[in-house]
Structure 1
Amino acid sequence: MGRIYDVLNSIEQYNLVRTQTASRPKKYVAVEPSTALDRLLDDKKRELEEKADQYEEIVDDLSTELHAAEPVEEQFWTAAVGAEETADLLVERLSAADERIVVVASDQTSLFDQGDIGDLVSKQLEAAIDRGVEINVLMTPGLVDSLPASVGQRHRETLSPHPDYEVRVSDDVTGTFNVIDDVEVCIQVPHPLAVNDTFGMIDLKDPEFATNIHDEFLPKWQDAEPLSF
C-alpha cells in the first residue's frame, strides 16, 4: 500500500488528482481528463522554461569567464585537409576575429569561387562586419570574373556599402591566405596535382609571423586598384 500512496502523492504534485484529507485513509479522485492534460502541459512548460533559464545562466557565466581569460601568446598551429574541412576551419577562424581581417585570394585555391562554400565564407565576412571588424580583400581580376552570382551579389549589396569593408584587385597576387587580428594567418595550400583545387589549410597563430605577412601585404594593397561591385 505504501508504494501506491507514493504514486498517488506524486500524481497529486502535478494537480492531477483531488484529495479528501479529512478521511482516513486519505481518498483520491481524478480530475477531469481535459483539465489534467492542461495542468500537465503547463507544468512541463514551466519546467522547460526553468531549464532554459538555467542553461542561459550557465552560458552567460562561461562566456564571461572565457572573455576574461588571458589570450594564448605562444605559437600554435593546426591544419585541415580537403575543401570541406578547409572551409570549416576558415569559417571558424573568421568567426573568431575581433578587429581586422585581411583576405588575399588568387585565382588558385580560393574558396570564394566554389559555390556553397563561397556563400558560407561571404556570410562569415558579413557577420564579422556586423561585429565591427574591419575587412580588406585583395584579389586577382580573374577571381572576380569567376565569382558565383550569389557571392558577387552579397559583396555588392551587403558588404561593399559598409565603410569598414574594402575590395581591391591586383595581378600581383600569387597565393591565398587570411590574416586575422594581426596575430593569426590561415594559408590555403593548393593540390600538388591540380593547382586550381584546394588541398588544405594551415592555421598558424604567431603574432610575429602575422605581422611580417601583413607588412608584405601593405605595399601590394596600396598599389592595387579599388573594385566597385
Structure 2
Amino acid sequence: MASLRDLGLSEYEARAYRALLNTGPTTAKELSRASDVPMGRIYDVLNSIEQYNLVRSQTASRPKKYVAVEPATALDRLLEDKRRELEEKADQYQSIVDELSEELDAAEPVEEQFWTAAVGQEETTDLLLERLTAADRHIIMVASTQSPQFDVSEVGEEIVEHLEEALERGVEIDVLLTREMVESFSEEVGRRYRERLSGDPDFKVRTSENVTGTFNLIDDVECVIQVPNPLGSGETFAMIDLKDPEFATNVYDEFKPTWDGAEPLSF
C-alpha cells in the first residue's frame, strides 16, 4: 500500500501532515496530541515538513498555528523533490562513469584467437550492441539478409543510437548491402538512416550484388557473424564474436575489392 514515507517523509512527518488535514489550523501542542508525535519532537517535525512546503504557518498568532497544504499540491511538491533527487543522483552516477571510463583501460588485445557466442534474439542483440560500443576506429557492416541493424523495432532503434555514438567518437562506419535488401527497406528505415546517420562524412553506404553473409568487422581485429534462424523465421538465431586479427585481416581482404567496386548509396 502506498505511503507518504514512499515519497521521503519520516513516520512522524507523515503522521503530523495527516493529522493536520483532519484538524485544520492548530498549534504544535494540539497537533502533538492529535498525531501521537511526542511533544519533544513536534517542533522539529513541523520545521521539517515546512521545508517540504507541506504546511503553512500563521506566525502572527500566539501560540503559532499551522495548517496543511492541500493534498494535491503537497503530493506534487513531494514528487518534484523526488524527481530532483533522481536527476542529481543520475548526474552523480554519470560523473562516476565518466571518471571510471578514463581510469579503467582495457588490456591490450592479445594476438591469440578468442571467440564467444550468443543464442536468442535478446542475447544476440546485447552482444552486438556491446561490440559496437567497443569500436574505436572502424565498423564495417555487411548484410545480405535481413539484419537487426535495419529494422524498425526497438532493437533497430538501439543500434542506430549506438552507431550515432560511434560516429561521435570518431569511428568510421562502412555499410555494404545487396540492392535487393535496400529495396526491401521500409520508408521509416530509410528516413531514420537518412536523417540521423547519412549526413556524417564518416558514414558510408554502398551496394553490390557480390555480397554474401551478414557480419560486422570491428577495428579490423574482430568479426561478429550473424547466424540466421535455420527455420527461416527471419530472426537472428545466434551471433558469433571472433577476435582473431589474422582472420579479421583475411575477411577485410575479401571485403575491400567488393567495397571498392560497389555503388555508393544515399538513404
Worse-matched range after superposition: 133-142 or 96-105: 96-105
Q: What SS class does the counterpart of residue 31 from structure 1 fall into? A: strand
User: Structure 1 CA distance, aligned partners of 2:205 and 2:43?
Assistant: 69
User: Structure 2 CA distance, aligned partners of 1:37 and 1:28?
Assistant: 28
CA contact 1:189–1:202 (8 Å) conserved in 2: yes
CA separation of 1:78/1:67 partners in 2, compared to 1, >3 Å: closer, same or farther? farther
CA contact 1:112–1:151 (8 Å) conserved in 2: no
The corresponding residue for 1:185 is: 223
CA contact 1:83–1:200 (8 Å) conserved in 2: yes
Shift of 1:105: 0.6
User: Structure 1 CA distance, aligned partners of 2:64 and 2:71?
Assistant: 12
Q: Deviations over 1:58-88 (max 9, x none)?
A: 4312321233222133465432223343234
The corresponding residue for 2:132 is: 94
- The count of residues paired between Structure 1 and Structure 2 equals 222
Shift of 1:207: 4.3
CA separation of 1:190/1:35 partners in 2, compared to 1, >3 Å: closer, same or farther? closer
Q: 1:8 corresponds to which letter in structure 2?
A: I
The corresponding residue for 1:203 is: 241
Gaps of 5+ in 2: 1-31
CA contact 2:56–2:68 (8 Å) conserved in 1: no
The corresponding residue for 1:121 is: 159
User: Structure 1 CA distance, aligned partners of 2:75 and 2:209?
Assistant: 68
CA separation of 1:112/1:6 partners in 2, compared to 1, >3 Å: closer, same or farther? same
CA contact 2:151–2:189 (8 Å) conserved in 1: no
The corresponding residue for 2:10 is: none
User: Structure 2 CA distance, aligned partners of 1:122 and 1:50?
Assistant: 31
Q: What SS class does the counterpart of residue 254 from structure 2 fall into? A: helix
Aligned mate of 1:8, from 42, 64, 76? 42
CA separation of 1:132/1:41 partners in 2, compared to 1, >3 Å: closer, same or farther? same
The correspondence of residues 71-220 of structure 1 with structure 2, limited to 5 A, is 71-72=106-107, 73-74=109-110, 76-107=114-145, 110-112=147-149, 114-116=151-153, 117-194=155-232, 197-220=235-258
CA contact 1:11–1:17 (8 Å) conserved in 2: no
Q: RMSD value over aligned CA atoms?
A: 3.8
Q: Deviations over 1:164-185 (max 9, x none)?
A: 1111112222111112233432
Shift of 1:36: 11
Gaps of 5+ in 1: 19-26
**Identical columns (%):** 43
Aligned mate of 1:32, from 49, 64, 67? 67
Q: 2:100 corresponds to which letter in structure 1?
A: E
Q: Relative to total residues, which structure has the larger strand share, 1 or 2?
A: 1
> Which has more radius of gyration?
2
Q: 2:42 corresponds to which letter in structure 1?
A: L
User: Structure 1 CA distance, aligned partners of 2:75 and 2:182?
Assistant: 59
Q: Deviations over 1:88-111 (max 9, x none)?
A: 43234324433321101113x533
CA contact 2:164–2:197 (8 Å) conserved in 1: yes
Identify which of structures 1 and 2 has the higher relative contact order when contacts are C-alpha pairs closer than 8 Å and 6+ apart. 1
The corresponding residue for 2:105 is: 70
User: Structure 2 CA distance, aligned partners of 1:115 and 1:145?
Assistant: 15
CA contact 1:119–1:150 (8 Å) conserved in 2: no
Q: What SS class does the counterpart of residue 137 from structure 1 fall into? A: strand
